[in-house]
């Protein structure tokens, strides 16, 4: 069976909007539950301003105590050279940069022009390489911007080219507001793949319009084998109030396994991680598959005790 890599983003993207600060110890509990389920790739935090994102205020403290588990790979988000300096000081070995595809998104989100953001991302990636670090680049709102609407796929090709030229090891195509459809995904990759190796791409889908798994399938058809997801669907989208947000890890796993791919991650273990995530956030979490998974677990337990 072909392997698909799951990159768990609940600790960063999933928690960043949570109102009450989640203590470092609680984040480590969630991380431990995910490791026990077999997850080995994580985006664990971001080195942004604590005033802007209070939930990430313990970034250095968390990175200092990340468990050393065979095969575990941790990455962190950095916005610029200052963030890179902080991440390096905390011992991080892989950093992620975020480049929003439109002018307005950059102005609204980080108060910089698209041109400025492109320059900052490229400079930070180059500097990371000089330090011997790995650096990947997200291209956010790659399909649709909440302010400017549909994004020209040719523009995404240009941005990907620029990030690869700067030295990005991987470019993550991000459907930030969950507006993409499979036809758009197919079109974008039909333009990207003649120029770049598909192994250098990953995808980050949101399930706002219930199309995330359909978009995953189109990406798989194109040859993509790495996807971001968040346990329990933890997280949301600040630009789509009430949106369901991140693709739930359990939905992605069940989908991949049923389609004949292997991930090394146990769905049953992820159910346990969802329980931990629900406890530490005080929220009822779970993807679309959860009622079925709970029913299956209850049925198995009743058969054991019969």
Report d(CA 196, CA 203) in Å as an integer. Answer: 15
Q: Which residue has the tokens 């992620």?
A: 96
- Residue 304 has a pLDDT of 65
The answer to whether the CB of 2 falls within 8 A of the CB of 256 is no
What's the domain count of the chain?
1
Q: What is the pTM of this model?
A: 0.95
The answer to whether the CB of 261 falls within 8 A of the CB of 32 is no
CATH of the domain at 274: 3.20.20.70
Question: 3-state class of 19 per DSSP?
Answer: coil
Domain range for residue 154? 5-305
> What is the tens place of the pLDDT at every residue in 237-269?
665 555 568 999 999 999 999 999 999 999 999
- Residue 239 has a pLDDT of 57
CA–chain centroid gap for 270, Å, is 16
Active site positions, annotated: 237
Please compute, for residue 161, the number of CA atoms within 13 A of its CA located in the half-sphere on the CB side.
11
Q: Is residue 305 pLDDT above 90, yes or no?
A: no
> What is the tens place of the pLDDT at every residue in 28-87?
999 999 999 999 999 999 999 998 899 999 999 999 999 999 999 999 999 999 999 999
């Amino acid at each position: 069976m072909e392997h698909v890599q799951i990159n768990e983003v609940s600790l960063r993207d999933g928690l960043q909007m949570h109102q009450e600060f989640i203590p470092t110890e609680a984040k480590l509990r969630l991380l431990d539950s995910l490791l026990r389920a077999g997850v080995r790739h994580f985006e664990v935090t971001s080195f942004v301003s604590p005033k802007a994102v209070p939930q990430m205020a313990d970034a250095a403290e968390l990175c200092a105590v990340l468990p050393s588990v065979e095969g575990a790979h941790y990455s962190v988000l950095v916005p610029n050279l200052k963030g890179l300096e902080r991440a390096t000081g905390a011992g991080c070995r892989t950093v992620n940069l975020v480049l929003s595809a439109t002018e307005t998104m950059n102005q609204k989100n980080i108060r910089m022009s698209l041109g400025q953001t492109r320059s900052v991302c490229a400079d930070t990636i180059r500097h990371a390489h000089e330090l011997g670090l790995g650096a990947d680049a997200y291209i956010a709102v790659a399909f649709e911007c909440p302010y400017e609407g549909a994004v020209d796929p040719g523009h995404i090709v240009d941005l990907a080219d620029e990030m690869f030229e700067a030295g990005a090891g991987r470019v993550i195509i991000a459907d930030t507001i969950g507006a993409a459809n499979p036809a758009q995904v197919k079109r974008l990759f039909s333009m990207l793949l003649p120029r770049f190796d598909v192994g250098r791409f990953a995808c980050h889908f949101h399930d706002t319009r219930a199309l995330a798994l359909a978009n995953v399938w189109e990406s798989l058809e194109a040859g993509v084998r790495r996807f971001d997801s968040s346990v329990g669907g933890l997280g949301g989208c600040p630009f789509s109030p009430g949106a369901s947000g991140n693709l739930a890890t359990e939905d992605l796993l069940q989908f991949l396994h049923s389609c004949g791919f292997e991930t090394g991650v146990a769905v049953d273990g992820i159910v346990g991680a969802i329980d931990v995530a629900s406890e530490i956030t005080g929220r009822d979490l779970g993807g679309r598959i959860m009622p079925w998974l709970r029913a299956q677990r209850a049925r198995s337990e009743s058969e054991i005790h019969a």
